[in-house]
Amino acid sequence: MKKILLVMLLALPLLAFEGAAVKVLTKFFGKESIELVSKKYGTTGVRALEKLSADHGKDALRLLQKYSSKYGDEGIKLLARYGEKAVANRASFEMVKKFGDKGFYLLKQFPQRSVKYYDKYGDTFVKVAEKTGSTRTIRYLDGAAKYGKEDKVLKFLDKYGEKGNAFLDRHWGKMLTTGFVLLNADSLIESTKNIANHGLDKGGEVAQESIKNIANSQLGWMIGLALLLFVFFKYGIEAVISAWKKWKA
C-alpha cells in the first residue's frame, strides 16, 4: 500500500506538468496530435514540443520530427531541457550532449564563437574554458585569431593551466600590440629555443652575453618575452626576476 501511495505522489507533479503543457499546446494542435507525440516520445517529447511551439507555433511538430530524425532520443532530451539552441547544429548538439550545463552555458553566452571553436578544437576548448574562464578563453582566442594562432594559445593554456592563464592575463595587451602571440612564428620559436638552450645554465641563470644579444636584436622585446616565459615555466619566478635584472642592466 505504501509503495502505491509513493508512486501516486511522485506521479502528481508529472501529471500537473502534462496538464499545463497540453493547455499550451492546444492553442496550436489538436488533442490527437498531442497524444501521438506523447505515445511516440513520452513526456519529454511533449515538453520539447511545448518549447518549440513558443517560437514556431504550428510548425513545431514538423521541427520536432526533424530533430528526432537527426539526433534521435538524445536530441529530444536536450531539446526538452535546453531548447532549440542545443540542437541547432551538430557542434552545439555534441557540446551540450557531452558537457551538459557547462556546454550549454558556453553556447548561451557565446552562440557563434563557442560553436566555431568547439567545431575546430573539440573537447579541449571546453576544458580550457572551464579551467581558464569562458570569457577569458574566448578573448584570448578571438585576439589570437587575427594572427591565425588560436591553436597555439589553446595548447599553451591546456598545457600550463593557471600559470599560463596568469601569464597571458598579465602580458596579453602587449603581446597583441606587437603582433606577438605566443611565439609568433616558427622561426621565432626556433630562435627562442636556441637562445634558451645556450643562455641558461643548470641553475637557471641567464648568461649576460645572451641578454645583450637579445636586447640588440630587432626582435628584442618579443624574443625577450619568449625567453622570460621559458625561464618562468622551467625554473620559476626567481629565475625570471634574475633574468629581468640582467636584461635591464
Domain residues of the chain, as ranges? 1-87, 186-248
Instruction: Answer whether residue 249 shows pLDDT above 80.
Output: no
C-alpha grid cell for residue 33?
A: 496530435
**Residue 221: per-residue pLDDT:** 55
Contact (CB, 8 A) for 238 and 206:
no
Task: Please give the mean pLDDT across all residues of the chain.
Answer: 74
Mean pLDDT within 168-194: 60
Neighbour-count burial of 107, counting CB atoms closer than 10 A to its CB (0-12 exposed, 13-18 middle, 19+ buried): buried
Q: Which of helix, strand or coil describes residue 206?
A: strand
pLDDT tens-place string over residues 83-96: 999 999 999 999 99
φ, ψ dihedrals at 200, nearest 5°: -120, 135
Q: What is the mean pLDDT of residues 39-61?
A: 91
**Rounded to 5, what percent of the chain is helix, strand, coil?**
85, 0, 15
Cα–Cα separations (whole angstroms), residue 150 to 76, 90, 138, 143, 162: 33, 22, 10, 8, 18
Question: Looking up cell 606577438, which residue turns up?
Answer: 180
The whole model's pTM is what? 0.67
pLDDT at 202: 38
pLDDT at 9: 35
pLDDT tops 90 at residue 70: yes
For residue range 118-164, list pLDDT tens digits in order: 999 999 999 999 999 999 999 999 988 888 888 888 888 888 788 77
Q: Which residue has the higher pLDDT, 111 or 198?
A: 111
Does the pLDDT of residue 31 top 80, yes or no?
A: yes
CB atoms within 10 A of CB 39: 9
